[in-house]
Structure 1
Amino acid sequence: MVTSRYDNITVDAHASAEQTFRAFVAVPDRSPAPAVVLFQEVFGVNDNMRQLAVRLADNGFHAVVPDMFWRLKPGFERRDETGLAEGMELATRLDYELAVQDMTATLAHVRADPGCSPRAGAVGFCLGGTLAYLFATSARVDGRGPDAVVSYYGSAVHDHLALASDIECPMLFHFGDDDPYISRAQIAAVEAAVANRPDIAVHRYAAGHAFSNFDAPSFYDADAADLAWGRTLAFLDDTLT
């Protein structure tokens, strides 16, 4: 399977409002294909996120990466650790309720796209790991949420565990045991919140934060990244195809 095209698209923010936001899309050479929405780290929709989208398309998924900072700084992107402070400042101002609206709009967009099959999932990293979790708990289109979600080191998931019972789909969580931003106790709290769900798995790695980001050398851990990505692809194949 190879990518047939990639481009930028616009997504309607609200059915009744004249607002749109941008998203990057990578489309496989088969149609219709299951959709996977990718949620960004604090660095925005950058080369790392675009390359991940292309990787997903090469594995047969219709990948869409919405600009989740569009209400704050449209088009924001930074490559690596040098943009961390600016990205984290934007993340602290992100309104999660509005973010859920935008994620729901993205879900509605892919569900209406004839190039997408009826099944849709999501993968998110760092800030996007938290957004992916909220996507699972809260994004609903005509009463239906996503079909599968993967959260990588979601730094605020533990603050929203009261919503765990609202997850209606299989999930994977990936965490680094040496993450300076997410304590082992906070990871344990996530594990406890989903312990009664056989369709949800929490994986820990001997790695730090953002271990999957191959554009941020001080964070990247190739062994952990490869293991987590393999698990992610297998999970998406099992749940979406």
Structure 2
Amino acid sequence: MKQNVEIQTADGVAGAALFVPAGPNATTSGVILYMDAFGPRPALYGMAERLADAGYFVLVPDLFYRAAPYGPFDATAFSNETTRAQLMALLQGTSQAMTASDSGAFLEALVAAGATGRIGAVGYCFGGGRALTAAATYPERIAAAASFHGGNLASDAPDSPHTKAGSIEGRVYVGVAGVDRSFPPEQSARLAVALREAGVDHTIENYVGMEHGWAVSDHGVYDPKGAERHWKRLLEFFDETLR
């Protein structure tokens, strides 16, 4: 069941949705689900519920809280000139450093809710890089980080997630969209080299034919078969690492 919570950060109060596990699968492990570019919404809450049903405490924080209120947006927002401009302002105004700082408060919120075991992170699109950056920023606390169709994971930007590979102590899984201008093959190769040279236990898997956004149900490119493959990989990854 979804609970709306407020989390005090260094820059204000972030809204978030918390999901608490119940039943025989329940664990004391937790997961931070880093949103895609369109923000918290029912599609992401449904994904969080599935993780909670698998036994995990799940937190879905609003990474754009500094600009609230905004939206709401759906996955067609980039096709409209006005909403595209609004989204780009939010994306460009929410730095990796901001989310890295916020993630300390997100971790504490999970602990306060009862997630006293191992913690994982998973991010989609914009959130994919945030999950990896969080793992590098809190290596003693985040045991597993996954990215699906994450963009710019190994770009030329000074805060690109691949530059922090040496700080990651947990396991990493990266599910790559086969068709994705935001994460071309040269970036995938650069990320692989960075993780391997850093000695990070990692997997980078190419989902051939899948487009950016394939795993999230309200995207126009959503692929049910590809999404179930993503769920199989993610749940196995977390079960192996967090339980």
TM exceeds 0.5? yes
- Aligned residues with identical type, % of pairs: 27
Deviations 1:182-204, CA, capped at 9 Å, x for gaps: 21111121122223546211111
Q: Aligned ranges for residues 93-108 of structure 1 at < 5 Å? A: 93-108=93-108
TM-score by length of 2: 0.87
Partner of 2:206: 204
Equivalent residue letter for 1:10 = E
For the residue of structure 2 that corresponds to 1:172, the secondary structure is strand
- CA drift of 1:89 comes to 3.1
Tell me, yes or no, if the aligned pair for 1:47 and 1:79 is still in contact at 8 Å: no
Deviations 1:32-89, CA, capped at 9 Å, x for gaps: 5311010000100011111111111111111100110001234643222235623233
How many residue pairs are counted as aligned between the two chains?
Answer: 229
Q: Aligned ranges for residues 1-241 of structure 1 at < 5 Å? A: 5-14=1-10, 19-30=12-23, 33-74=28-69, 76-82=71-77, 85=84, 86-113=86-113, 115-139=114-138, 144-159=140-155, 160=160, 161-196=162-197, 197=199, 199-206=201-208, 207-217=210-220, 219-241=221-243
Q: Which runs of 4+ in 1 moved over 3 A?
A: 74-77
Using the alignment, how far apart are the partners of 1:162 and 1:215 within structure 2? 32
- CA drift of 1:239 comes to 0.6
Using the alignment, how far apart are the partners of 1:149 and 1:223 within structure 2? 23
Gaps of 5+ in 2: none
- CA drift of 1:154 comes to 1.8
Tell me, yes or no, if the aligned pair for 1:34 and 1:118 is still in contact at 8 Å: yes
Deviations 1:127-150, CA, capped at 9 Å, x for gaps: 00011011111136xxx3311111
Using the alignment, how far apart are the partners of 2:66 and 2:77 within structure 1? 22
For the residue of structure 2 that corresponds to 1:7, the secondary structure is strand
Equivalent residue letter for 2:190 = A
Using the alignment, how far apart are the partners of 2:196 and 2:227 within structure 1? 24
Using the alignment, how far apart are the partners of 2:99 and 2:200 within structure 1? 28
Using the alignment, how far apart are the partners of 2:110 and 2:222 within structure 1? 31
For the residue of structure 2 that corresponds to 1:213, the secondary structure is coil
Deviates more, 1:94-103 or 1:68-77: 68-77
Using the alignment, how far apart are the partners of 2:183 and 2:109 within structure 1? 32
TM-score by length of 1: 0.88
Using the alignment, how far apart are the partners of 2:29 and 2:131 within structure 1? 17
Deviations 1:166-225, CA, capped at 9 Å, x for gaps: 1110110111121122211111211222235462111111112111121012x2122222
Using the alignment, how far apart are the partners of 2:170 and 2:201 within structure 1? 8
Gaps of 5+ in 1: none
Deviates more, 1:77-86 or 1:89-98: 77-86
- CA drift of 1:111 comes to 2.4
Cα root mean square deviation, aligned = 1.9
Structure 2 CA distance for partners of 1:104 and 1:81, relative to 1, 3 Å: same
Using the alignment, how far apart are the partners of 1:201 and 1:76 within structure 2? 35
Using the alignment, how far apart are the partners of 1:239 and 1:42 within structure 2? 27
